[in-house]
Amino acid sequence: MRLHPALRRLAPERRLTALLTALGLFGATVVTTGVLTGGPAQAASSLQLQYRTTETGATAGDIEPWFQVVNTGSSPASLSGVAIRYYFSADTTVPYVYTCEWAVIGCSKISGTVGALSGGPATADHYLEVAFGSSAGSLAPGASTGDLQLRINRQDWQQVNQANDYSFKNQTSYGPSGTVTLSVNGTVVSGTAPGGTSTPPTSPPPSGSGVLFDDFHYTGPSDPNLGAHGWSIRTGGGGPGIQGTWSANAFSFPSDSTAQGGKVMNLAATTDGTTSGTTQAEIDTVQRKFFEGTYAARVYFNDAPTTGPNGDHVNETFYTITPDDSLYSELDNEYLPNGGWGAPGPTLYTTTWYSADAMDRQTHNVISSLQGWHTLQMTVAGGTVTYYVDGNVYFSTTGKYYPREKMTIDFNEWFIDLPFSGARTWNEKVNWVYHNASGALTPAQVTSAVNGYYSAGTHFTDTVPN
């Protein structure tokens, strides 16, 4: 028998308890999602929270609050609506990421979210809220949930300072904590909250209808995993832009210290002012299977070429599209750093198409530079398409300006025309792409989902049905 890594970390006398609990031979189980409001008053409850940590130093690689909930009463205790809050002070504006390392009842039975707190003491400007899924059941008298081994780390994996964290204690054995709160249906039953006003934590994004995530950890355009993961780099003829200039050589997948996870997909459009001296970049999903739900990508736009003189009418994009048939559908994010189509730049065009042949669409743009990294999001649900830039609503369309059939997901960089001579290269970078088919997610939910993939070391997943 091979011991789980988390069991090996336990003292020998605790391993048996943990194993018995996991097998249902020691105690019972737990819960559903709850929101902890905090407050000085406490209600009577048979539930007791116990806390310990393995990261005991003031400076540590991460925060590791471990918990167990015990039913000290004489009758079963439903833990639906139970929530735990651990309060800490963020050392940076870099986001913090929650991970369940291991739980006796199973990590799928609990959820964790990080929220912000304002107006409280300096030792508590953030909190981790932990709630239990309803499938975990209830606790029998005298039973415990067993270990909930949790971690909070900075997204950049820099060290954390726990000395100024409200809930931190150098406590290596389970015991009560007056600075970690336990609540039932919003009422605190143990511990004292630090005060202040909390920003509600992000609810976990649903995934029932399929999810795509890719952070483009590929070696190059010929990497077999690229095709295996459903991507196709365009080569050969056709538009838009300069006909017949699409090339696999326009793609690379370099390391990039400015990117989340340190890796990007780079699209390069090059030209010397002639058709024969031009290459354009486009990559598409092979399967046309994406319809309603949420689309998001983190992209890097450039207002100037990497090499050569500026001035080109170049288009840097993230979009979805179907063939030009009777149910044609297309959702566009098109960044024109120098303008084009007779209009000035820099500007981002967001467009929902009904007919490409009839040029029937609704579009919106603002003259403003978007040089650098930006998160673009589109939600398609309930007859409305909403476009977001960095979490802010940019444009929305309704009525007939709504997709009518499944689409591909695509990125390209291309020249609208070639009015100038001289060699130059334009680059667009893509950090990650995400699609959730279950509905319209908030920008915060998208961020939470993407951070979760990075925290878990997941570079690619695709559960969207073909």
pLDDT in tens, 423-448: 999 999 999 999 999 989 989 889 88
**What is the CA 140 to chain-centroid distance, rounded?**
37
Instruction: Say if pTM beats, i.e. exceeds, 0.85.
Output: no
Q: What is the predicted pLDDT for the residue at 207?
A: 63
What CA–CA distance (Å, rounded) separates 448 from 446?
5
Q: What is the predicted pLDDT for the residue at 39?
A: 43
What CA–CA distance (Å, rounded) separates 396 from 402?
10
What CA–CA distance (Å, rounded) separates 320 from 340?
21
Residue 67 and residue 136 in contact, taking contact as beta carbons nearer than 8 Å:
no
Q: pLDDT digits over 385-429, tens only?
A: 999 999 999 999 999 999 999 999 999 999 999 999 999 999 999
Closest CA to 294 of 436, 452, 460, 451: 436
Average pLDDT over residues 164-184: 95
pLDDT bracket for residue 184 (50, 70, 90): confident
Closest CA to 153 of 456, 462, 465: 456
Six-digit token string for 248: 């696999």
Please name each of the domains of the chain with its CATH number.
Answer: 5-198 (2.60.40.710), 211-462 (2.60.120.200)
Give how far Cα 397 sits from Cα of 292, 352, 381, 407, 432, Å: 14, 7, 11, 17, 25
Six-digit token string for 46: 């048979």
